Amino acid sequence: MIFPQKDQSKKSESFISNDEKQVVIGKGFDDTLSIDEQLREWLTGRMLLFDELPFPVEYIEQQIRLGFCTSYHGIERKGNHYICNRCKNTDLSLFSPFPCARCQKECVYCRSCLMMGRVSECTPLVTWSGLEISFSYPNSLHWKGGLSPSQKEASEKIINVIKNGGDLLLWAVCGAGKTEMLFEGIAHGLERGKRIAIATPRADVVLELTPRIKQAFPDVPVISLYGGSEDRHRFAPLVITTTHQLLRFERAFDVMIIDEVDAFPFSADEMLQKAAEKAKKKDGSLIFLTATPEEKWQRECISGKRNCVILPARYHRHRIPIPKFHWCGNWKGAIQKGRIPQSILVWFRKRLEMGKQAFIFFPEIQWMERALPLFQHYAPEIEAVHSEDPQRKEKVQKFREGNIPILLTTTILERGVTIPNIDVAVVGAESEIFTESALVQIAGRVGRSPQFPTGDITFFHYGKTRAMIRARNQLLRMNREARRKGLIDD
Amino acid sequence: MDIYEKNRCFLCQGNIKREISWVGFFLNQGEFYLCEKCEKKLEKIRGEKCSLCSRPMEKLPAKFKKEAICYDCYLWEKEEKWRGVLEKNISLYVYNEFMAELIARFKYRGDYVLAKIFAADIKGVLQRNEFDLIVPIPLSNERLFERGFNQAEALAREAGMHPVSILSRIHSEKQAKKSRQERIHLPEVFSVTNPIQVKEKTVLLIDDIYTTGSTLRHAAYVLKKAGAKRVQSLTIARG
């Protein structure tokens, strides 16, 4: 989009403050003017830069004067502080001035949400303030599957929160069937005209989730949003999105469901957490899904301070495999000397002999690549993957097809990957990168399918850590809880 | 004491922890903008390079070399119109994947502060050479409005230079989408807005990246025609 360059006086004139807008409406709304449906689709619940809209600036300004849209300053100065109205960043080190060619002044911009298009003092953000789009989809759920009694219980709680607002944490072990538990609640919300977002930190999860949701709700418009998505101008009652794209929304959703709250980058990025808060309507419902909540949340759940449902068992009614700890000595030293530590070697050769597939997790790419030839010595088909590997997808696919006996990996495969019958080892489990939640997720790769509900998970370590112990305790507690509730048969 | 504790890396937001040395203290190396990990990914142009355009030549097959210059420069210099127009180009870094990302973030996403990363290097070049005029490659008005700043000018300013805008762009299309042939045979792209200022001066052109050298040569050509004595150029990356 190319805008004609304008002089500054004209520009400042055109951003009407809220009071002025009220006056315009007060003078009598011109009802011969109808709503621009296209603009409404673009802007409902969204907060966008002029540059993100395919309409001429003059047109948007006219719509603002008519009261259909409202504009806000991109960045507001409050005393010595700044606040970015898109990402709510207030960290001074993430603001910087630059000589701006648009406003011809030193203009402060936000570095926190820069990757979504630069917001600066002279770039206004526009929202829709006209009549909202209303909808209702009764009986929208076409899913034929059934829920287990414990899934049913969780589903009830979700419906309740969607009905009455508030927040809920759904703490369900890996493989509990979280998505299915949402369906009833979503159907309920859609019937009552509630706009629903399912947000997740990872774009690949968005892509995986979208067809499942579309299949369950075939008559409801569903859009999926991620960087470069084709749906970014569309309105839909049901939105599946990355947590980053939530930055473009403002008070949009009655129901905000955040999947894998503990996953990177959401858990580490305050900006994304603020974005989720901003994208939700004030009295809306907030639902978190996770298999591994952070420590503080766990405590709040257990002490009853946080509204939560715990699902301690997998839908296939088998217990979760518990990790074994195995001291392996200075494994880095051993690899440097060109050998695999004895205990790991024994474990590894046993899988090879049995012909059972396995993941071996490493804390760092560098060590994994050094170890790879040592493993390949026993079976040349062994491969290694990491996040920057261009053949990442192909290798995982080859593993899935059974053409790779053992796959060395970094934490990229810690979640989301379901392969029926595998064992898992973690080398260097004492590393900082293996947090409690990472270890629980890794252990969760084992015994996923009802045909092969068991498997071996071993943490090879050079000194036990708190995270390892907490991870094991968490899984033990889940199994105990499940047994008490009669959710597993063993 | 860790006085840099609060500094965060411009690119990865990680903490910058640097050893404080006496050398650094006395030479006043000033602030660090990148953490060591990110800085290592920047690859300085070292060793054998084209004496004309700074292209790294160590890994270049022999057929792309002509004595001390690369084959591209040889082709340019063969044509009478272009011979000696651009006396020399100095590039600082190899245009690797990391640099590509950095430049994209800097100029397309508009992260102005990243210009600071190169300030010290650019100052270094200026200390070793003398120029009368520092001229950034201009953007068209549309592009300037879209981006909010001219990346070449930002690089010069952040290095403490006083760039003068004596060039303007006639043509406005993006270069990145064109082939080498298309770029070389463009009609004039630039004009000199104030020719008197250029007479008998040595000029340093500034840009972010040297790819085929066509932009810089077109700019150098009009400057020479307007009476500049010598024209050299400085870019942070050599594509």
What is the tens place of the pLDDT at every residue in A207-238?
888 999 999 999 999 999 998 888 988 999 99
- What percent of chain B has pLDDT above 70? 85
Task: Show the tokens assigned to A300.
Answer: 């709040």
Helix H or strand E encompassing B121 = helix B119-128
User: Residue A25's pLDDT is what?
Assistant: 42
**B116 in contact with chain A, both atoms CB, cutoff 8 A:** no
- Taking CA–CA distances from A98, the nearest residue in chain B reads B112
Instruction: Check whether residue A336 and residue A462 sit in a common domain.
Output: yes
User: Is B109 in Cβ contact with A114 (below 8 Å)?
Assistant: yes
CA B186 distance to own-chain centroid: 21
From B143's Cα to the closest Cα of chain A, the distance in A is: 8
User: Is A3 in Cβ contact with B113 (below 8 Å)?
Assistant: no
User: Is B111 in Cβ contact with A111 (below 8 Å)?
Assistant: yes
The per-residue b/e assignment along A123-138, b for 16 or more CB within 10 angstroms, e otherwise, is bbbbbbbbeebeeebe
Q: Indicate the pLDDT class of residue A124, thresholds 50, 70 and 90.
A: very high
CA A57 distance to own-chain centroid: 34
**A115 in contact with chain B, both atoms CB, cutoff 8 A:** yes
Instruction: Check whether residue A348 and residue A448 sit in a common domain.
Output: yes
- Cα separation, A467 vs A461, in Å, equals 12
User: Residue B33's pLDDT is what?
Assistant: 86
Instruction: Check whether residue A36 and residue A61 sit in a common domain.
Output: yes
DSSP string, B22-88: HHHHHTT-----S-HHHHHHS-B--SSB-TTT--B-TTS-GGGEETTEEHHHHHHHHSTTTTTTS-E
The total number of structural domains in chain A stands at: 3
The per-residue b/e assignment along B89-125, b for 16 or more CB within 10 angstroms, e otherwise, is bbbbbbbeebbeebbebbbebbbbbbbbbbbebbeee
CB burial of residue A215 (10 Å; 0-12, 13-18, 19+): exposed
| Contact yes or no for B105/B98 (Cβ under 8 A) | no
User: Is A98 in Cβ contact with B146 (below 8 Å)?
Assistant: no
Q: Is residue A2 part of a domain?
A: no
**B113 in contact with chain A, both atoms CB, cutoff 8 A:** yes
Any idea what DSSP says for residue B93? E
Average pLDDT over residues A296-305: 90
Tell me which of B174 and A185 has the higher pLDDT.
Answer: A185
Instruction: Check whether residue A335 and residue A463 sit in a common domain.
Output: yes
The CATH number of the domain holding residue A237 is 3.40.50.300
Return the amino acid letter for A453: P
> Where is average pLDDT lowest: A109-118, A285-294, A378-387, B178-187?
B178-187
- Out of A51, A98, A111, the one facing B149 most closely (by C-beta) is A98
Average pLDDT over residues A77-101: 93
Which of A234, A249, A275, A38 is CA-nearest to residue A125?
A249
Q: Indicate the pLDDT class of residue A20, thresholds 50, 70 and 90.
A: very low
Any idea what DSSP says for residue B16? P
Q: Which domain holds residue A79?
A: 8-128
**B141 in contact with chain A, both atoms CB, cutoff 8 A:** yes
User: Residue A349's pLDDT is what?
Assistant: 95
Average pLDDT taken over every residue of chain A: 89
**A99 in contact with chain B, both atoms CB, cutoff 8 A:** yes
pLDDT digits 0-9 by tens, B212-223: 999 999 999 999
B8 interaction partners in chain A (CB closer than 8 Å):
93
The phi-psi region of residue A460 (left if phi > 0; otherwise alpha if psi is between -120 and 50; otherwise beta) is beta
| Contact yes or no for B118/B92 (Cβ under 8 A) | yes
Domain boundary among A261, A290, A311: A311
| Contact yes or no for A135/A119 (Cβ under 8 A) | no
**A98 in contact with chain B, both atoms CB, cutoff 8 A:** yes
Query: Which residues lie below 8 Å from residue B220, measured CB to CB, with a gap of 6+?
Result: B85, B86, B203, B205, B231, B233
Domain boundary among A94, A128, A162: A128
**B105 in contact with chain A, both atoms CB, cutoff 8 A:** yes
Instruction: Using the structure block, give the residue that is written with the tokens 């905000």.
Output: A256
- Out of A2, A51, A101, the one facing B149 most closely (by C-beta) is A101
Instruction: Check whether residue A31 and residue A120 sit in a common domain.
Output: yes
For an interface test with A, which of B13, B106, B107, B112 has the most A Cβ atoms less than 10 Å from its Cβ?
A: B112
Give the ipTM: 0.87
User: Is B150 in Cβ contact with A100 (below 8 Å)?
Assistant: no
B105 interaction partners in chain A (CB closer than 8 Å):
114-115
Q: Is residue A437 part of a domain?
A: yes
A89 interaction partners in chain B (CB closer than 8 Å):
none
Which of A188, A190, A135, A141 is CA-nearest to residue A161?
A188
Which of B145, B109, B105, B113 is CA-nearest to residue B33?
B113
Domain boundary among A246, A276, A311: A311
Instruction: Check whether residue A101 and residue A156 sit in a common domain.
Output: no
Instruction: Check whether residue A114 and residue A231 sit in a common domain.
Output: no
**A51 in contact with chain B, both atoms CB, cutoff 8 A:** yes
**A111 in contact with chain B, both atoms CB, cutoff 8 A:** yes
- Maximum mean pLDDT: which of A1-5, A366-370, B36-40: A366-370
User: Residue B21's pLDDT is what?
Assistant: 65
Instruction: Check whether residue A226 and residue A95 sit in a common domain.
Output: no
- Taking CA–CA distances from A120, the nearest residue in chain B reads B148
For an interface test with A, which of B8, B102, B113 has the most A Cβ atoms less than 10 Å from its Cβ?
A: B113
Average pLDDT over residues A165-191: 92
For an interface test with B, which of A96, A104, A105, A123 has the most B Cβ atoms less than 10 Å from its Cβ?
A: A96
- Taking CA–CA distances from A96, the nearest residue in chain B reads B113
Q: In chain B, what are the domain boundaries? A: 1-41, 42-238
From A101's Cα to the closest Cα of chain B, the distance in A is: 5
Count contacts between A and B (CB, < 8 Å): 49
- Cα separation, B215 vs A73, in Å, equals 37
Instruction: Check whether residue A374 and residue A231 sit in a common domain.
Output: no
For chain A, the farthest-separated pair of C-alpha atoms sits apart, in whole angstroms, at 84
- Taking CA–CA distances from B149, the nearest residue in chain A reads A101
pLDDT digits 0-9 by tens, A309-351: 999 999 889 999 999 999 999 999 999 999 999 999 999 999 9
Radius of gyration of chain B (CA): 19
**B232 in contact with chain A, both atoms CB, cutoff 8 A:** no
> Where is average pLDDT lowest: A146-150, A422-426, A433-437, B109-113?
A146-150
For an interface test with B, which of A92, A107, A110, A114 has the most B Cβ atoms less than 10 Å from its Cβ?
A: A114
- Taking CA–CA distances from B101, the nearest residue in chain A reads A115
- Cα separation, B37 vs B54, in Å, equals 25
- Taking CA–CA distances from A2, the nearest residue in chain B reads B142
Q: Which fold has domain B42-238?
A: Rossmann fold (3.40.50)
Instruction: Check whether residue A174 and residue A280 sit in a common domain.
Output: yes
Task: Show the tokens assigned to A382.
Answer: 């062994």
Asked if residue A265 has a cis previous peptide bond (ω within 30° of 0), the answer is yes
State the pairing for strand pair A324-327/A280-290: unpaired
Tell me which of A99 and A418 has the higher pLDDT.
Answer: A99
- Taking CA–CA distances from B144, the nearest residue in chain A reads A101
User: Residue A100's pLDDT is what?
Assistant: 95
Q: Indicate the pLDDT class of residue B95, thresholds 50, 70 and 90.
A: very high
User: Residue A2's pLDDT is what?
Assistant: 40
- What percent of chain A has pLDDT above 90? 72
